[in-house]
Amino acid sequence: MFIQIFRNKLSQNWELKKKIKNLEVVIRTNINQPEHHIVKEIAKEWNKQRRINLKPFGLGGNFYYLWIDFSQWPTHGYPINVTDTVELDSDKLEYPTEYGDIAIVVDYSLDNCRITRKVSILQTKKEKRQNEVDIALHQLYLMHCWPNVEFPTGTMYKFKGVNSDEFSFYHFILSHSANLQFSSSICSAPMVSNLLGTNANGLKSKLKAWLVGRKTNPKLPHPSIPLRSSLLPGAIFQTSNRYKWNLVPKSFERFLYDSAYLFVGTDNEDVLNLTQARISTILAMQVSASREKQEVGERSRKEE
């Protein structure tokens, strides 16, 4: 019940709409900049307005204040592109891993007690040319399949029961094919695999061939495939003369609303822990209701 009330109040708030629109403007303004610069500017805009007050509500004879806090989490400081051991069926691969450029963490809390927390992970990629993006298959394997991974420190992550369609996304910067309405789009990792004409088994097969090739040529570069397709939000892809309406890229704006409403994201603890260990830009949105007003920055230990 509380989650639905929170969603209703979020959908009615013009300040949240303005903040999300401003994030879109940042991408458009910096569209010709390198990926890391765009990520940095997104984080800067995210942190500009730390709190948005929503309309309070009454329930069960109680009056609740409601607000959203925006913050950026510190990470554990592990470098990205470090060499991990990645499980590949009965084989193991060692290669530099990267799990995403941005994570969006959304908390809902009531009277300083967390109701739920979900995280979504975004890998930012720019178009190489119009309607073309290079996809590294070893990275797509991570984002699509979420195999068991062991860090050099010995920490093991086993992502059982996760659905990458819910939380693992590519954020495509449409630097060559943007229009006045859209500068970027969001596609789930399984959707990207589908558009490349492959699936989890196909990715495994290509990586096994890479593993065999590296035995004779340790410096053999990782395999990649160009994704050639319109990635504008709302574009409908046609395969074998049958339209697949589920293959519709989302706008960044739509994705942020879906994150805020908890329509996307996972609460898997290993994904959350890996996020803090490896993703350098973690943007947090905390939606809170309380019978007492709180100042910006106040957080209960129960929420940590």
pTM of the model: 0.89
118 occurs within a structural domain? yes
pLDDT at 238: 47
- Is 62 part of any domain? no
pLDDT at residue 52 in the model? 94
d(CA 206, CA 190): 16
Q: Could you give the number of structural domains in the chain? A: 1
Say what the pLDDT of residue 241 is. 43
Rg (CA), the chain: 20
List CB contacts of 272: < 8 A, sequence separation 6 or more. 105, 117, 119
Confirm whether 33 is domain-assigned. no
- Closest among 185, 186, 78, 207 to 140, alpha carbons compared: 207
Of 122, 120, 116, the residue nearest 167 (C-alpha): 120
What is the distance between the alpha carbons of residues 136 and 103, in angstroms, rounded to a whole number? Answer: 20
Domain contains 8 = no
> How many angstroms separate the first and last alpha carbons of the chain?
23
Which tokens sit at 74? 């510190």
Provide the pLDDT for residue 78. Answer: 60
pLDDT of residue 159: 93
Rounded to 10 deg, the angle between the 14-29 and 252-260 helix axes is 140
Instruction: Compute CA distances 275 → 98, 195, 196, 268, 282, whole Å.
Output: 11, 26, 26, 11, 8
Closest CA to 148 of 156, 139, 137, 138: 156
Whether residue 9 lies inside any domain: the answer is no
Q: Which of 224, 252, 244, 281 is nearest to 80 (CA)?
A: 281
Within-domain flag for 44: no
Residue 133 located in a structural domain: yes
Walk along the chain (304 residues) in steps of 10 and give the mean pLDDT of each run.
Answer: 89 94 95 95 94 90 92 74 83 87 96 94 95 94 94 90 94 92 93 92 92 89 92 64 58 94 95 92 95 63 40
Containing structural domain, residue 158: 71-284
Does residue 26 belong to any structural domain of this protein? no
The CA-atom distances, in angstroms, between 77 and each of 82, 101, 243, 276 are 12, 14, 44, 9
Write the secondary structure of the chain as one string of H (helix), E (strand) and C (coil): CHHHHHHHHHHCCHHHHHHHHHHHHHHHHCCCCCHHHHHHHHHHHHCCCCEEEEEEEEECCEEEEEEEEEEEECCCCCCCCEEEEEEECCEEEEEEECCCCEEEEEEEEECCEEEEEEEEEEEEEECCECCEEEEEHHHHHHHHHCCCEECCCCCEECCCCCCHHHHEEEEEECCCCCCCCCCEEEEEHHHHHHHCCCCHHHHHHHHHHHHHHHHHCCCCCCCEEEEECCCCCCCCCEECCEECCCCCCEEHHHHHHHHHCCCCCECCHHHHHHHHHHCCEEEEEEEEEECCCCCCCCCCHHHC
Q: Report yes or no: 123 and 100 within 8 Å, Cβ to Cβ.
A: yes
